[in-house]
Each structure stands twice: as structure tokens, then as C-alpha cells.
Amino acid sequence: MKHTLQLRGQWAGRKLIFLLLFAQVWVVAGLTGAQAQTIRYVKEGGSGEGLVWEDASGSLQAMIDQSSSGDQIWVAKGTYKPGDQRWHSFNITKTGVAIYGGFNGDETSLADRVLTYPSSTTLSGEIGNSGDPSDNSYHVVGIAFSDRSTILDGFVISDGHADGEYDDAIGSGIYSVEACGVRSSPIIRNCYFANNSSTGGGAFYAQGAGQPLLINCVFFNNTATDESVGGGAVTISNSEVTMINCTLVGNRSTYGNAIRNEGTLTLTNSILWNNRPLYDGDIQGNDGLDIVGRGRSTLRTPSIRTSFPAWPIKTPARLLWTKQTEICN
């Protein structure tokens, strides 16, 4: 893959410094011993300390920074933006913190949450002029130093635009990255990725060692523009990604309309539908394929529909070009 990246560019500078400083704080906090679980609350326009709904914080990032392993963050309906600079993102850089969206703002238990789909809680990269993606966030969410106890559940993730250099050119919705030799293996659940664009991994990019798990997620109308990277919705670079009950529809790319796999992909009970080449009428190489790459892909009971209804597609394999493909029906 021509665009295999290490931590460098914007993340190697501003973001890596932030991650390292935060990791040091986290280690020190861990030495103080086990603490009771804390739930922190976020509301659009809030200005409080975030320990009860009535005194909710308006800053999701502040609540993430204050949380420790075992804590939860409940985010009420509304739209939240990571900052006013393109390199700002919601940085999730610790294990054991679960972040839930879709609350009305008066719930007393997680079971009280009535999660709509798409969620009523949006994390948006639309930080500049409305309708102009050129000044949107490079990454809406950045995840590192995470494991399966790191959870993001119940959000719309939209309008990221990664058109910068190096790491700021990929994964505009969520960028999950191995950092300092530490894997990134979060659970992303009940999330709706829409209108994100980048040179590669239009909505989600998994970089380096890690095992991200995506459950009940929808990828709609995301775009990747660089054929050396591809993956209109998802790009996997040396990671092991599992997708369960996911739908990828209406995504576009010059290479791998839905997914570019240069690692390991397991796709279970998922739908790929109407993902198309970025340039209609100019189909070259693997433009017409929904999943491409040199990685291993395992498909379990998939439903894959061709972008071109006139093609006599009889098996999912005809929409794939991967080094190793196992189809399990």
C-alpha cells in the first residue's frame, strides 16, 4: 500500500505531544489506586462541572480528560464540535472509559436511554463556514492507547475533511492509530458515519497494530479521493478490524468503493450496497469493487450488492479483490 503511515505530520507534532503528556497523567492517576465509577454529563451549551445533568459540562473533551478507567460519559442530544482549529479532534487516549450519546438529558440509568438511529447526538467536524468542507476538522475523533474497554456508543460522526498531509489526510471521521507501540482496539457501536471525506479511509481509518470492533454501525455518503489509499468508508492498514451488523451504503472512492483492506477484516451479517466509483464512467483497475486490498478478508453471511445492477453478480467474491478471501454462508 503506497500510503502506509507511521505517527508523523500533524499527529507527530501537536497531537503526539498531547498524547504523551496525557499518557503520563494517566499513569500517575493509576498509581493512586482503584476509584469508584464516575458518570460525567455533557449537554450542548452546558457550563457546569459535569457531575449531574443539572450541572452538565458543555465540553466533551474536558470530560474525557477528567475520566479514569471504569468511568462513563453520557452526552445529551445536540451537536458537538472538537474545537476551532482543523487539527482539533475529540481525543480518546485511555482505556476503560465508555462514552455514550443519544440521551435526552434527564436519564438516571443507561437503560433509560432511548437510542434513535441515527442518534440525536452528533460529533461534527463542521467547525468553519457552513457547507464549506475545506475548513472542517481533519479528524472528528482520534483514538489511541485504547482497548476493548474503550467504548464509543450512540453518535453521528459527520463532516470530517482530511485533506492535509500525512496523518491529516486519512480517517476524517475516526482515526484509530497505534501510538508508541501501544495498540488501539476500541469498540465503536451504534454509530452513524456520514458525509466524511479524505484521501483515504473516508470515515474510518485503522492504522497499525490494533483490533477495532465496529458493531451496528452505518457508513453513508463518505468519500476517499486518492487511489493510492482508497476505501470510501473504511481503510485498514496493518490492523485487525471486525465489523458486525454494519451497513455501508452510498460511499465513493477511486479504489475500494467501501473498504480498502491492507490488514485483516472480518465482516459479519453486514450489507454493502450502492457503493460507487468516485468518477462515474471512468472505471479503471478495481474501481468497481467494494472491497479491495492485499489483506485477509473473512465474510460471514454478507449481503453485497453490486454498484452496477447490470452486472450478473452471483457471489460476493465478484465484488472483491483481496489477497485472501474466505466467504462463509
Q: 3-state secondary structure string, the chain? A: CCCCCCCCHHHHHHHHHHHHHHHHHHHHHHCCCCCCCCEEEECCCCECCCCCHHHCECCHHHHHHHCCCCCEEEEECEEECCCCCCCCCEEECCCCCEEEEEECCCCCCHHHCCCCCCCCEEEECCCCCCCCHHHCCCCCEEECCECCCCEEECCEEECCEECCCHHHHECCCEEEECECCECECCEEECCEEECCEECECCCEEEECCCCCEEECCEEECCEECCCCCECCCEEEEEEEEEEECCEEECCEECCCCCEEEEEEEEEECCEEECCEECCCCCCCCCCCCCEEEEEEEEEECCEECCCCCCCCCCCHHHHEEEEEEEEEC
The whole-number pLDDT of residue 298 equals 74
Provide the grid cell at 197.
471525506
- Count of the separate structural domains present in the chain: 1
Asked whether residue 231 is domain-assigned, the answer is: yes
Asked whether residue 36 is domain-assigned, the answer is: yes
The whole-number pLDDT of residue 193 equals 98
The whole-number pLDDT of residue 306 equals 44
pLDDT in tens, 253-266: 876 788 888 889 99
Asked whether residue 2 is domain-assigned, the answer is: no
The whole-number pLDDT of residue 59 equals 98
What's the full length of the chain, in residues? Answer: 329
* 58, 45 Cβ separation under 8 angstroms: yes
Asked whether residue 319 is domain-assigned, the answer is: yes
The whole-number pLDDT of residue 262 equals 87
Asked whether residue 4 is domain-assigned, the answer is: no
The whole-number pLDDT of residue 110 equals 97
Residues facing 92 on adjacent strands: 143
What's the CATH number where 281 sits? 2.160.20
Asked whether residue 138 is domain-assigned, the answer is: yes
Which pTM value belongs to this model? 0.81
The whole-number pLDDT of residue 275 equals 87
Show the low-confidence residues of the chain (pLDDT under 70): 1-36, 228, 255, 279-290, 292-295, 301-329
Domain that holds residue 199: 9-328
Asked whether residue 1 is domain-assigned, the answer is: no
Q: Using CA atoms, how far apart are residues 312 and 308, in angstroms rounded to an integer?
A: 9
Asked whether residue 3 is domain-assigned, the answer is: no
Which residues are within 8 A (CB) of 247 and not within 5 positions of it... i.e. 6 or more apart?
217, 218, 219, 220, 270, 271, 273
